[in-house]
Amino acid sequence: AQSVTQLDSHVSVSEGTPVLLRCNYSSSYSPSLFWYVQHPNKGLQLLLKYTSAATLVKGINGFEAEFKKSETSFHLTKPSAHMSDAAEYFCAADTGGFKTIFGAGTRLFVKA
Amino acid sequence: NAGVMQNPRHLVRRRGQEARLRCSPMKGHSHVYWYRQLPEEGLKFMVYLQKENIIDESGMPKERFSAEFPKEGPSILRIQQVVRGDSAAYFCASSLQSPAREQFFGPGTRLTVL
């Protein structure tokens, strides 16, 4: 069965330092993978997506993620955190059917 | 091009009442998905609909929950005889094609059951 695991429920960084949000997936085939961001009381906004093209995917707001098949990972990174990055981040996988499976989310805190 | 619209944004119901949540997909999108987000949890798939058809409702509770996407008008998620455990944020998403390569999400409806 497909699953998405976000390894940290909370991550706290200082402004200007790198961000790493970890995501592992379990799938019987190469899925499409996504990262979404959710600001308080808002819907989800797509940050980036991997669809079997380049393994390093660049998204909006300076975020990028690297697909590593051998590690079944799709970690989200950003070189320098900004206060406006504080939000909840969801990793998701397209199962190839009709559902998208979401991880439980990682809440990112950015300290001044 | 307006995004996915959901209304109401906030809905308060007493136990036993009915809740109706509406979703208007993006223009040109004929695929609609409903998700539920419980506090401190990720999104859980509920149902996938195309116009006038339920394609996959494997995430829907067997009782009290129903969904429709009529030929005209928004998609409706209906919860009958609500209970406190139904309190959650309900998100609708739409896509241009399916299997979806990208879903566009609405702002959600936050249901509170007193």
Angle at A10 between CA A35 and CA A51, to 5 degrees: 15
Q: Which residues contact B76 (CB under 8 A, 6 or more apart)?
A: B20, B21, B22, B23, B67, B68, B69, B70
Residues B99, A96: C-beta atoms closer than 8 Å: yes
Which chain B residues are Cβ-neighbours of A103 within 8 angstroms? 42
Per-residue pLDDT reduced to its tens digit, B13-56: 999 999 999 999 999 888 999 999 987 778 899 999 998 899 99
Structure tokens at B65: 């929950």
CA distance A14 to A80: 9
Instruction: Please check whether residue A103 is in contact with residue A90, taking contact to mean a CB–CB distance below 8 angstroms.
Output: yes
> Does the pLDDT at position A100 exceed 90?
no
Which chain A residues are Cβ-neighbours of B48 within 8 angstroms? 98-99
Select from B105, B109, B110 the residue whose CB has the most chain A CBs within 10 Å, as the one to mutate to test that interface: B105
Per-residue pLDDT reduced to its tens digit, A60-98: 999 999 999 889 999 999 999 999 999 999 999 887 666
